[in-house]
Structure 1
Amino acid sequence: MKKAIFVLAAIGSIAGAARAQSSVTLYGLVDAGFAYTNNVGGQKLFAASSGNIQGSRWGLRGTEDLGGGLKALFVLENGFNPYTGRLNQGGDEFGRQVYVGIRSDQYGSVTLGRQYDSIVDYTGPLEAASQWASLYGGHPGDLDNMNNTNRVNNAIKFASANYSGLTFGGLYSLGGVAGNFTRNQIWSAGLNYARGPLVLGAAYLNVKNPNFSLFGNNATSSATATNMSGSQVYSGFASARTQQVITAGAAYTLGAATFGATYSNTQFLGLGETAVTGQPGGSPRSGNAKFHNAEANFKYQLTPAWLVAVAYDYTKGYSVTSEKIHQAMLGADYALSKRTDLYAVGIYQHASGTNSFGANATAQITILSPSSSQNQVAAIVGIRSKF
């Protein structure tokens, strides 16, 4: 009898230790508000708007200690619209990200699944839209993906451990096309240095057939028609063979103030080399379309609860496009608690030159439909609560 009791106690202690070495966490946030736009196709628009500062989501993340400094890990993360309850990311059940892998305390992690590219990881957090300016404040059409509009399917990803403030990593996505190893492939690499008040980041992204790989990566995407319909800045370039993006950013904190800047160069190369049915605007363009984008941002923590911020962004198209876009942003955030805050953002955009269809450019703030003029103004207010 004593032996049986001892064995049961030993089993219980082992099970307790196993539970202590593993964890699963439920997390998420809900972000909802309202947006006013002065000109959408010539009309004023007042609408419910969700996922403004951060996309509404819920997720599960877990780790299991494997011993020897190794852990197994997984993440399942869903995106949704709190006003309708519908799935975001084209209806994918875990459209934000889903992956599984191994992490070493000494070297870093290797993960497999639907994941974020290196621009999102290493330079995206330095953009105003990823901090306080909302998804409306993204670079036009989020053409450089710094605001994480597009995820990467079929991805193998490495993320290093932190070496005295330096982190780096890379991602490779299998194209998955029979007989053509490189079609639809995606790869990226980047690094970030954060030490004291200084943060520096740089990243590179290379996408083959972006209309079907990076933009066409969810359940509702078309296998033949355009998936790049979100912005007239680049919608006419769906036939590009390759999209290439180079980004860099920096931030410096001085007391309650933080000064930041980002730069990106986005290129849609080999226009007309990817077959796309029903291309809007007529026949596909030819040649290469290229964009410079530069942003300066500033935020100030007035009190532990109050944050105010301002940013200016400039986009210049060259080669087959001549579009120029000026965008100014102003924001404020008030923390009701550690988990819940209220926010307000105002955005003004002015466009000139010709857009991706060769027509006279009109303003189009990210995620909105185009203005009927060269100018567009948006104001967003909302509440965000995390759990």
Structure 2
Amino acid sequence: MKKTLLAMGVLGAFSSLAFAASNVTLYGVIEEGVLVEKAKHKDTTVQLRSGFDQGSRWGIKGVEELGNGYAVGFILEQGFNADDGSIASGTSGFTREAFMYVTGGFGKLGAGRTGSLSSGAQSNTILTGWALGTGFGLSSWTSEIGTSFSRVNNTIAYNTPSFSGFSLHAMYSNGVGVDTNKWSKNSHYYGIGVKYQANAIRSSLIFEAVDNKGTEVASNTAGSLFNEAQWAVLNKYDPTDLTDAQKKEYKEWAETDLKDGEAAKKRTLVINYGFEYNLGAVTPMFAYQWANQDGGKKTNMFGLSAKVGVAGGDLMVGGRYLFGEDESITKGEDKVRAWNIGAAYIYPLSKRTAVKAYAGYADGSKAWKDKDNVAYNGYQVYLGMRHSF
């Protein structure tokens, strides 16, 4: 009798736990493949690459219904490299997203670490208009030729309910890296966007800015703010180690942009617009980006792409063209041009598993002619597999 009661008690406890955790989900993505890559002036490499399109990650998400249409949810997500098991970026846990939110008739309000509105990553992005998305190497809309903001810390994000297909999205970061300094010395992110999704149309218009007031100037949040000579000074290397050309450039920069020994903080402004029209068998897309940063990039980027159903899978093709200036390069020689083309094919083996193939080519000119980075000059060929759980 005692054993029966004990067994019933244990079953009851497990039943309660299962009920309490019924809205909590463990999920993830593992993607790995072989990447052949050749950047200008560099050797051809063959790599086992993790997360070439979709970053390998695992996460936990959950929702609790509060009643009267309100709910509280969370997302905790960590990236990793499937080829060696290491953390994908950073050293802390849940570097991809750590976000808690409340939903109701008012919309959705949340806070934590998450992707910016145009990042193409995480639960708050609204980027549209580019078939190859923010994966596939040099064909990513957020590759290095453009200007993008990735994930930001200390963030508050809000979006309205959908009204006739339209929704408004706003985001503010009190410190893209840290917010422990005086407010005026933190780097702040501001984003506002409108998304439309109804019938066959998806579209978004996003305005974003980072004021770069803080001491951290990460490449994925602040753009190309400093050139090599400036970084050398900022990192307190001996200026005598610089070349004559770097010394001259630093002198001109220091006379105009330095105050009390600190780098002048230059804000970065970016506008992204995207449009997609689903015709059934094919979805043509258009994307545009305008970026402006004193001392950095001042560019216009256009993209035409399409998603086509082929032989049970999806074929994505796209081409981009960028022109403008990169003021981190010697003044008078800062005109830049770049274009790239790419094609990817995803074939589902099941609901959770797919095979992926990709090929892309990039070409830069003017001041980017000899840039030895595959995002500017080079090619990539990829074959891999993705499994989600």
| Fold similarity call, TM over 0.5 | yes
User: 1:352 maps to which residue?
Assistant: 365
**Which of 241, 266, 273 matches 1:241?**
266
Q: Is the 8 A contact 2:291 2:299 kept in 1?
A: yes
The CA deviation at 1:72 is 1.1
User: 2:61 maps to which residue?
Assistant: 61
User: 1:192 maps to which residue?
Assistant: 195
Structure 2 vs 1, CA of residues 72 and 22 (structure 1 numbering), >3 Å: closer, same or farther? farther
Q: List per-residue Cα deviations over 1:63-92 (Å, max 9, x = no partner).
A: 111122111111100000001111112233
**What letter is aligned with 1:308?**
L
In 1, distance between residues paired with 2:217 and 2:371? 28
The CA deviation at 1:102 is 1.3
**What letter is aligned with 2:301?**
N
**What letter is aligned with 1:242?**
R
Q: Is the 8 A contact 1:150 1:215 kept in 2?
A: no
In 2, distance between residues paired with 1:209 and 1:99? 23
User: 2:115 maps to which residue?
Assistant: 116
The CA deviation at 1:160 is 2.3
| Pairing 1:208–2:247 present | no
The CA deviation at 1:350 is 0.9
In 1, distance between residues paired with 2:36 and 2:191? 36
Look up the SS of the partner of 1:90 in the other structure. coil
Structure 2 vs 1, CA of residues 68 and 258 (structure 1 numbering), >3 Å: closer, same or farther? same
The CA deviation at 1:205 is 1.1
Where in structure 2 are the equivalents of 1:282-293 lying within 5 Å? 289-293=297-301
Unaligned runs of 5+ in 1: 1-11, 227-235, 272-287
The CA deviation at 1:258 is 0.6
User: 1:383 maps to which residue?
Assistant: 385
User: 1:25 maps to which residue?
Assistant: 25
The CA deviation at 1:49 is 1.1
In 1, distance between residues paired with 2:303 and 2:287? 5
Where in structure 2 are the equivalents of 1:269-288 lying within 5 Å? 269=294, 271=295
User: 2:314 maps to which residue?
Assistant: 307
In 2, distance between residues paired with 1:194 and 1:329? 26
User: 1:136 maps to which residue?
Assistant: 138
TM-score (norm 2): 0.76
**What letter is aligned with 2:320?**
D
In 1, distance between residues paired with 2:88 and 2:264? 25
The CA deviation at 1:61 is 0.5
User: 1:97 maps to which residue?
Assistant: 97
Where in structure 2 are the equivalents of 1:143-154 lying within 5 Å? 143-145=146-148, 150-154=150-154
**What letter is aligned with 1:385?**
H
| Pairing 1:342–2:346 present | no
| Pairing 1:362–2:371 present | yes
**What letter is aligned with 2:111?**
L
Q: Once structures 1 and 2 are overlaid, which stretch shifts more, 30-39 or 257-266?
A: 30-39
The CA deviation at 1:168 is 2.1
Q: Is the 8 A contact 2:39 2:374 kept in 1?
A: no
Q: Is the 8 A contact 1:208 1:243 kept in 2?
A: yes
The CA deviation at 1:56 is 0.6
Look up the SS of the partner of 2:23 in the other structure. strand
In 2, distance between residues paired with 1:325 and 1:72? 45
In 2, distance between residues paired with 1:23 and 1:123? 25
User: 1:257 maps to which residue?
Assistant: 282
In 2, distance between residues paired with 1:189 and 1:39? 36
Q: List per-residue Cα deviations over 1:276-327 (Å, max 9, x = no partner).
A: xxxxxxxxxxxx5301111100121024x22222110111123733110010
Q: List per-residue Cα deviations over 1:89-122 (Å, max 9, x = no partner).
A: 2233111110112111x12111111011122345
In angstroms, what is the RMSD of aligned CA positions? Answer: 3.2
Q: Is the 8 A contact 2:146 2:301 kept in 1?
A: no
Structure 2 vs 1, CA of residues 107 and 347 (structure 1 numbering), >3 Å: closer, same or farther? same
Task: Number of aligned residue pairs: give it.
Answer: 329
Q: List per-residue Cα deviations over 1:21-62 (Å, max 9, x = no partner).
A: 961011111011111123454311111111112111100001
Structure 2 vs 1, CA of residues 18 and 60 (structure 1 numbering), >3 Å: closer, same or farther? closer
Structure 2 vs 1, CA of residues 109 and 215 (structure 1 numbering), >3 Å: closer, same or farther? farther
TM-score (norm 1): 0.76
**What letter is aligned with 1:135?**
G
Structure 2 vs 1, CA of residues 160 and 21 (structure 1 numbering), >3 Å: closer, same or farther? farther
Look up the SS of the partner of 1:119 in the other structure. coil
Look up the SS of the partner of 1:126 in the other structure. coil
**Which of 280, 297, 305 matches 2:305?**
297
Structure 2 vs 1, CA of residues 78 and 168 (structure 1 numbering), >3 Å: closer, same or farther? same
Q: Once structures 1 and 2 are overlaid, which stretch shifts more, 159-168 or 240-249?
A: 159-168
**What letter is aligned with 1:119?**
S
Q: Is the 8 A contact 1:152 1:214 kept in 2?
A: no
In 1, distance between residues paired with 2:220 and 2:276? 33
Q: Is the 8 A contact 1:122 1:190 kept in 2?
A: no
